[in-house]
Chains A and B, each alone.
Chain A
């Protein structure tokens, strides 16, 4: 096992497409790193460069001590699980799993031992004599996993290995892969565009946008301290509400959203963001996560200065929670990032109707009595607000640059 390190790696395709730019990322020995980002951001390209299936245009790629830029795939000692599984259709499950070992001239009884163990771990016992066409999707997925683990490689590479499974199986395999990776302790780079997979599986998550790495951090940190608007909007579902606000300092801090509408900022939150001092009297982008909104009727004693009022436009009841689309007096932020993120699945459009109102999405308790068309008062958990610079899009955290590095 070994670490996998991108050192300023770029990929420019023959047609000039710059799919990956100056990527710097180190997947530590035994670590599980998830590469996530919207479609077309270069995740697959990055993974394929590690696999040796795509030439590296610039920079160095290291596996362990070895720079592998010019090492062919077969000598890189890595295993890859494809989105399509890529099982050899003319071979039985046993031969599929044993294929790589036979090529490496591993002794026959050793092959048998490893395949047997893998089939036990992956619950493939009775299927070893079958051809792939006689397997279900989930079983094929497990065979593909088995083929990777028997190799005992330096690193696992997985490209959306669960995206062809139905929702239930996906949840199950998600847990299985995590457990397996834990047990084996193999360095793993996992590509997905599903942020639930990213958050639940990764030791660290790397967010990509248009070929550029935005932030690499443990899931919770990514959620709590997104480095910029893009990461803030991308992580979390439904996505963070982004509003334009003016910060004012009169003793405490306030964010003014519109005529007579303001939120008092939490002192501790402000204290944790010394960089905010430079923004007194200036406009910022305020990020409010849907889960930090609640129906005021259910939150007794919440201070008056942390509330927003508006008409409930749409109520989506999911059983365990209610998604409330509320039109409040405020301006939706127009940073360009929303549109980019809007193409990402599962994102609620943050929109206004141009008359000084913005529609916020709140994730309310199912006990809420609010009905569509009625006025609804929301309580904002101001401890969890996010503040971004409207020009650079960077999160405002530290004193100097108004950005946060991770």
Chain B
């Protein structure tokens, strides 16, 4: 007992330090949140820390204004479509390709996989201009589909790489056993490989979702009317430098959603799904 208390006190300085670092890290987010709660006229006059001395100032009026703003709501919906759409598409294609690269023998498989890996080093920016002209001629410019396809395409090298390397770790016996049990390749994929690949799929999905949710560059390039929330907030910033009472809550909403998604999926990360299958 005494020993345990001793150990705890010895660890205390470290824990305090960690808490301080974490708090410092959170300051901008907290600042943003508190700003979003302050009345507009006060924001420019006072700092957000004013709320600490006068908690009664806090209201959700700004949020109400955001939810009433048709443009911002449309933008939010567009973001959801782009982020969810491209994440689902990417995960599905990556998982299928990853399974094929891992377990289905076909001619030229290994060289092709090397090519896929090589594509990892192509920076997205180099493709902006060529794809721009392509989209203009094909009518994909300024559409949600165009943005979904672009994000998916640039997510694929990493997605396939991640999936293939995870799937290759599935014991061969499992797949063969399923084959003998009467499963087709498609059944094996959906009934065995996907459930077993959940940790990798969750990781890929979260990264892609966060990345595309926060994207500004691609959306600015390929959209005019099709504006995700990042572009909408950015536009607000340019048009009226002063309307922070819309920008702050909108930014906070834009930040809170991926955070919620992250926490919803994170429990799949560390699961040892393969335990008990062989040996």
**Interface residues of A, Cβ cutoff 8 Å to B:** 51-53, 72-74, 76, 78-80, 82, 84-90, 99-100, 103-104, 131-135, 137, 140, 147, 151, 164
Contact = CB atoms under 8 A, between A and B. Distances in A.
B277 A86 contact: yes
Interface residues of B, number: 23
B182 interface: yes
Contacts of A131: 276
Nearest to A104: B182
A88 B171 CA distance: 10
Contact of A132 (B181, B192, B276): B276
B279 A84 contact: yes
Contacts of A103: 181-183, 187
Contacts of A87: 276-278
Q: Which of B183, B192, B277 has the most CB of A within 10 A?
A: B277
Contacts of A90: 195-196, 273
A142 to B, nearest CB: 14
B174 A88 contact: yes
B176 interface: yes
A273 B176 CA distance: 48
B78 to A, nearest CB: 36
Q: Which of B177, B182, B273 has the most CB of A within 10 A?
A: B177
Contacts of A73: 176, 179-180
B275 A74 contact: no
B177 A80 contact: yes
Given A52-B180, A53-B176, A103-B187, A84 B275 contact: no
A78 B176 CA distance: 12
Q: Which of B171, B179, B180, B187 has the most CB of A within 10 A?
A: B180
Given A100-B182, A131-B276, A134-B276, A89 B196 contact: yes
B184 interface: yes
B179 A84 contact: no
B149 interface: no
B276 A74 contact: no
25 contacts: A51-B180, A53-B179, A74-B179, A78-B180, A79-B180, A80-B176, A82-B176, A84-B173, A84-B278, A84-B279, A85-B277, A86-B176, A86-B177, A90-B195, A90-B196, A99-B178, A99-B181, A100-B181, A103-B181, A103-B183, A131-B276, A132-B275, A133-B276, A134-B276, A140-B276
Nearest to A84: B278
Contacts of B171: 84, 86
Nearest to A90: B195
A97 B179 CA distance: 14
Given A87-B277, A164-B279, A74 B183 contact: yes
Interface in B33-63: none
